[in-house]
């Protein structure tokens, strides 16, 4: 049995969908918190607690700084 899987289209932390996790994602995440509906909640919920808030921003910044 063979099953083909699709390409991964999002990485945790890649809020703006450019294939990288960087300061652009922090900006996009802050914009999402402020009401920009461009970005999907599931990619904005960095800490996977079911909410998109400043804790996600902190987690994303820490992730970037640790890499």
Given this model, what pLDDT does residue 1 score? Answer: 67
Given this model, what pLDDT does residue 12 score? Answer: 85
Given this model, what pLDDT does residue 3 score? Answer: 72
Show pLDDT as tens, one digit a residue, over the chain (67 residues).
677 766 656 678 999 999 999 999 999 999 999 999 999 999 999 999 999 999 999 999 999 999 8
- Distance, in Å, from the CA atom of 2 to the CA atom of 17, rounded to the nearest integer, reads 29
Assess contact for 52 and 60: CB atoms under 8 A. no
Given this model, what pLDDT does residue 4 score? Answer: 73
- Distance, in Å, from the CA atom of 56 to the CA atom of 66, rounded to the nearest integer, reads 15
The model carries a pTM of 0.83
What are the residue ranges spanned by the domains of the chain?
1-67
CATH class of 1-67: mainly alpha
């Amino acid at each position: 049995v063979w099953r083909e899987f699709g390409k991964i289209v999002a990485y945790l932390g890649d809020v703006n969908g450019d294939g990288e996790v960087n300061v652009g994602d922090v900006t996009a995440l802050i914009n999402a918190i402020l009401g920009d509906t461009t970005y999907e909640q599931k990619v904005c919920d960095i800490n996977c607690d079911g909410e998109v808030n400043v804790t996600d921003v902190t987690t994303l910044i820490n992730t970037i700084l640790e890499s």
